[in-house]
Amino acid sequence: MDTNYKKVNYGHPYNYAAESTYRIELKNAKDQPTTVKVQEPIPGDWEMIRESFPHTKIASGLAEWEMKIPADGKTTLEYKVLVRY
């Protein structure tokens, strides 16, 4: 879920830049902990500004987070990314 979006003046050589903030809540209804991977497509030249879990850049336009969710619990992934085109 996109929680905030802001165009920024980044200047040459980029014509466009924006900061976006996202929040994804993951729930585990099982009676045992589980590990999940979340993959998010991020277009353009991007830089992670802030995140609640460390990501791995598995491709030029794809970020991945691996998170443990407690039994009958939830975990929230929050991240802010700067995208330049």
Q: What is the CATH number of the domain that holds 32?
A: 2.60.40
Domain that holds residue 76: 2-84
Are 42 and 71 in contact by the 8 Å Cβ rule? The answer is no
What confidence score (pLDDT) does residue 2 get?
Answer: 59
Domains identified in the chain, total number: 1
Are 33 and 70 in contact by the 8 Å Cβ rule? The answer is yes
Q: What are the pLDDT digits (tens) for 18-70?
A: 899 999 999 999 999 999 999 999 998 999 999 999 999 999 999 999 999 99
**Is residue 12 pLDDT above 60, yes or no?**
no
Are 18 and 6 in contact by the 8 Å Cβ rule? The answer is yes
**Is residue 14 pLDDT above 60, yes or no?**
no
Going by pLDDT thresholds of 50, 70 and 90, the confidence category of residue 11 is low
